[in-house]
Amino acid sequence: MKRKQLEIPPAAARQVMECLRAYQADRSELKRDAIAAAARHILLEHMPKGTKLRLSEVRELFERMRKPADRA
């Protein structure tokens, strides 16, 4: 089953990227959770109604989006 591509307005995408940078810069798990929750809220505003997005999924997304230099 093919999913419809999610279209996020540029302003919201920039906010999510700011959250990503803040998430990766911080080492406190509590602060990282708060940052991921903020990003989750932004993403859910632009997803189809009834869509579920878990905090753990946002954290996984942020981990996968690390810069390649960080993976070494």
Q: 12-41: per-residue pLDDT in tens?
A: 999 999 999 999 999 999 999 999 999 999
Q: Phi first, then psi: what are they for 64, rounded to 5°? A: -70, -20
How many domains is the chain partitioned into structurally? Answer: 1
Q: Phi first, then psi: what are they for 5, rounded to 5°? A: -70, 135
Range of the structural domain that residue 35 is part of? 10-66
Asked if residue 20 is part of any domain, the answer here is yes
Q: Phi first, then psi: what are they for 50, rounded to 5°? A: 90, -5
pTM of the model: 0.81
- pLDDT value at residue 67: 67
- What is the biggest distance separating any 2 CA atoms in the chain, rounded to whole angstroms? 39
Asked if residue 3 is part of any domain, the answer here is no
Type of residue at 9: P
Asked if residue 5 is part of any domain, the answer here is no
